[in-house]
Amino acid sequence: MNVRPVLDANASAGGGNLGNLPEWDLTDLYAAPDAPELKRDLDWLEASCKSFASDYEGKIAGLDARGFLEMVERHEKIENIAGRIMSFAGLRYYQNTTDPDRAKFLSDAQEKITVYTTPLVFFSLEINRLEDAAYADLFDADADLARYKPAFDRIRAMKPYQLSDEMEKFLHDMGVVGDAWERLFDETISGLEFEVDGEVMGIEGTLNCLTEQDRAKREAAARELARVFAGNIRTFARVHNTQTKEKEVMDRWRGMPTPQTGRHLANDVEPEVVEALRDAVVAAYPKLSHRYYELKRKWLGLERMQVWDRNAPLPMETTRTVDWDEARETVMNAYSEFDPKMAEIAEPFFSKGWIDAAVTPGKAPGAFAHPTVTNVHPYVLLNYLGKPRDVMTLAHELGHGVHQVLAAGQGEMLSSTPLTLAETASVFGEMLTFRRMLRNAKDDAERKVLLAGKVEDMINTVVRQIAFYDFECKLHEARRSGELTPDDINALWMSVQAESLGPAFDFMDGYETFWAYIPHFVHSPFYVYAYAFGDGLVNALYANYEEAPDGFQEKYFDMLKAGGSKHHTDLLAPFGLDATDPAFWDKGLSMISGLIDELEAMED
């Protein structure tokens, strides 16, 4: 029942006079924290969980297909109400994580729902105790029930790692403890203050300074980030040590063979597919990030690159602010050009209070699209500051939103996609926006800036995220041998940075602490490879679209509508694509390499 939004690791930021930025209207969930409808739903949830357990605990094996379907529908209703409550509490909290009233409201809601739903722990346990033949017969006997089989197959995948009923209930109740550590991380990050050139700002504004044209300002921001992270490093190390140890204990008790196993199961993806992706990306570092950053070093006129130059604008790039109306028009035109239906689905996000765009004190950094529940709608969080890359962040999160709207028809159990597929529509939305902007470029200089920006985004999505994945693998492995000091974690971070970024870079003192602000390491261990998976998938999809555009949109929308009801092999089959083929990833990486080829050719 944990429905916390997942912050996107690739969110970027800018600055300037931005126009009228939208704020969330959460009244489609509840009118207020003290709304009578909220109390009504909490009371209903408590009673419904008790009655569900009374009616079904110890009895699932005796149900026929019709009775099983009725049970599933009752469980979905419980999921829906719990998800609605937690979405409201969570979204309010992420608007201002430093507000104690919002933090208390979220904590109280989490604790109540944890207590109310503890009687439901038996549900998945008894499902997994069904004999294989009886399980198969249930879904063969009823077509209405059969559509739910993919969701139950994913539950059954956890069967080898299931503990006793009492232990599972204990772990369910203890979940609020792990949530508290995550909130400590969020509140610490959101409460940090940085001073750059006499201006005090939060983390979003400071990270934004790393994309300024003025190199001295970029350096000042990088050094201030390092100073503040160092001052808080013991807190961040404690959070990471605790969360990683908690996962190690859980994995050990469950008999998980690797720290990554749980994520692969949740993503419904084979470990060998992820390792093939990881290996392909690492092997491609020289022809991707190493080659690109050497080009960028020359453009910047530097002997050596520093970490504050990684996301620097190009010298020929005009410093400008993209106001909100222009960003909206750019993305909506790209979506509409692909298919008017896509823009039609996206429109309410702008007109009905489904986007919260402004940077405000205490607001969670980064960006996300949260689906809430299937009978409401998604909400998008941005920290929009007006850089051209912010337009891509909008395109990315709006892609998630479109996907979530289309998948809602599957219902609570089947609408949610594995993380690997969840990035498909978001990265595809970015690609549509980029390609339209590239077609409309006024001259070679603008085209070069756009190409370089897209290559950097792809490197951040593929190379950087796989480096993050390798860091996490090393972190979890090292923690198994004992407590890690901040210096230990710093060393693990640096061990992947030079390898991924390449020989053009030097690393300032203090950069070793920059692992501290990445939310995924705390909130969603091993999530990050999903970005690389999504980018490779979209590159292959977009190539398919260019080669055979007729009928592509219909197949694409069908894929998004499927939500989590199909395995990635079934979703990709209509396009003639297969992610289990190791060569599949090389095709996606070749698209990035080809863009770098174009940039090199422009040097001649």
Cα-Cα-Cα-Cα dihedral sign, residues 235, 501, 424, 472: negative
Residue range 93-106, pLDDT digits in tens: 999 999 999 999 99
Q: Which of 57, 48, 65 is CA-nearest to residue 123?
A: 57
What is the rounded average pLDDT for all residues in the chain? 92
Q: Which of 114, 94, 112 is CA-nearest to residue 102?
A: 94
Residue type, 425: A
Element (H, E) at 196: strand 194-196
The fourth-level CATH superfamily of domain 274-352+387-601 is Oligoendopeptidase f, C-terminal domain (1.10.1370.20)
Give the chain's end-to-end CA distance (angstroms, integer): 57
Q: Which of 536, 186, 167, 122 is CA-nearest to residue 368?
A: 186
What is the spatial distance between Cα 117 and Cα 80, in angstroms, rounded to a whole number?
Answer: 13
What three-state secondary structure class fits 421? helix
Q: At 8, is the pLDDT very low, low, confident or very high (cuts 50, 70, 90)?
A: low
- Least confident range of 12-21, 46-55, 509-518: 12-21
* Mean pLDDT computed over 115-142: 94
Q: What are phi and psi of 356, to 5 degrees?
A: -115, 110
List b or e across 340-349, with b for residues whose CB sees 16 or more CB atoms inside 10 angstroms: eebbebbeeb
Q: What are phi and psi of 385, to 5 degrees?
A: -125, 10
Do the two domains 26-258 and 274-352+387-601 of this chain adopt the same fold?
A: no
Element (H, E) at 166: helix 165-191
- Whether the pLDDT of residue 159 is over 50: the answer is yes
Element (H, E) at 55: helix 36-56
Residue range 465-494, pLDDT digits in tens: 999 999 999 999 999 999 999 999 999 999
Residue range 546-576, pLDDT digits in tens: 989 999 999 999 999 999 999 899 999 999 9
Q: What pLDDT, on the 0 to 100 scale, is given for residue 5?
A: 52
Residue type, 592: I
* Mean pLDDT computed over 330-354: 97
Q: Which two tokens stand for residue 199?
A: 């201006």
Is 497 in contact with 507 (CB distance < 8 Å)?
Answer: yes
Q: What pLDDT, on the 0 to 100 scale, is given for residue 128?
A: 93
DSSP structure string for 422-460: HTHHHHHHHHHHHHHHHHT-SSHHHHHHHHHHHHHHHHH
Q: What pLDDT, on the 0 to 100 scale, is given for residue 2?
A: 40
DSSP structure string for 523-574: HSTTTTHHHHHHHHHHHHHHHHHHH--TTHHHHHHHHHHTTTSS-HHHHHGG
DSSP structure string for 407-422: HGGG-TTTSPPPHHHH
Of residues 200 and 365, the one with the higher pLDDT is 200
Going from the C-alpha of 24 to that of each of 89, 358, 519, the distances in angstroms are 13, 10, 22
What is the spatial distance between Cα 417 and Cα 406, in angstroms, rounded to a whole number?
Answer: 11
Cβ atoms < 10 Å from Cβ of 415: 23
- Whether the pLDDT of residue 205 is over 70: the answer is yes
Q: What are phi and psi of 279, to 5 degrees?
A: -65, -40
Residue type, 577: L
Residue type, 93: Y
Cα-Cα-Cα-Cα dihedral sign, residues 390, 392, 393, 397: positive
Topology annotation, domain 26-258: Butyryl-CoA Dehydrogenase, subunit A; domain 3 (1.20.140)
Q: What pLDDT, on the 0 to 100 scale, is given for residue 4?
A: 45
Q: What pLDDT, on the 0 to 100 scale, is given for residue 365?
A: 86
* Mean pLDDT computed over 141-155: 94
- Whether the pLDDT of residue 362 is over 60: the answer is yes
Q: What pLDDT, on the 0 to 100 scale, is given for residue 11?
A: 42
Q: At 581, is the pLDDT very low, low, confident or very high (cuts 50, 70, 90)?
A: confident
Domain-by-domain residue ranges, the chain?
Answer: 26-258, 274-352+387-601
Q: What pLDDT, on the 0 to 100 scale, is given for residue 3?
A: 42
Is 536 in contact with 284 (CB distance < 8 Å)?
Answer: no
Q: At 379, is the pLDDT very low, low, confident or very high (cuts 50, 70, 90)?
A: very high
Q: What is the dihedral of CA 196, 199, 205, 208, to 10 degrees?
A: -40
Cα-Cα-Cα-Cα dihedral sign, residues 419, 420, 422, 428: positive
Cβ atoms < 10 Å from Cβ of 564: 19
Which percentage of the chain shows pLDDT scores above 70? 97
Is 424 in contact with 566 (CB distance < 8 Å)?
Answer: no
Q: What pLDDT, on the 0 to 100 scale, is given for residue 165?
A: 86
What is the spatial distance between Cα 29 and Cα 377, in angstroms, rounded to a whole number?
Answer: 9
- Whether the pLDDT of residue 413 is over 70: the answer is yes
